[in-house]
Amino acid sequence: MGKRKKSSRKPGPARQKVPLDTTFTCLFCHHDKSVTVRLDRKEGVAQLVCRVCDQRYQSKVNHLTEPIDIYSEWIDAADAAQREEQIARRPVASSSRPIPVPASVDSEDEE
């Protein structure tokens, strides 16, 4: 013989989605809540602007993109640009010796 079916439990309260930030701290001037992100999904472009130092960044968006994604891309792009700049300005190691210049062929012929 089977047991009686218990009445199903009522679902608990729905979890509230915590809204993601839309204003962020600027990487260059370090002001809190000075960077805003505008998403134009119709055009497929996002614009990030700092109201204090007027730093700007632009990126492509899709239907899943959120403002935090654009801010993260901006951080990554700034880090990559800084790394490229450091590579371009890499100083010569102090322990390296100058390469000796071979004697020219003309000087031997004169003797």
Q: Over the stretch 68-77, which tens digit does the pLDDT of each residue have?
A: 999 999 999 9
Whole-model pTM: value is 0.66
pLDDT class of 9 with cuts at 50, 70, 90: confident
The dihedral built from the CA positions of residue 89, 78, 28 and 56, taken in this order, carries a sign that is positive
Q: Is the pLDDT of residue 50 over 60?
A: yes
Report residue 28: phi and psi, to 5°: -95, -40
For residue 77, which of 61, 59, 65, 92 has the smallest C-alpha distance? 59
pLDDT class of 101 with cuts at 50, 70, 90: low
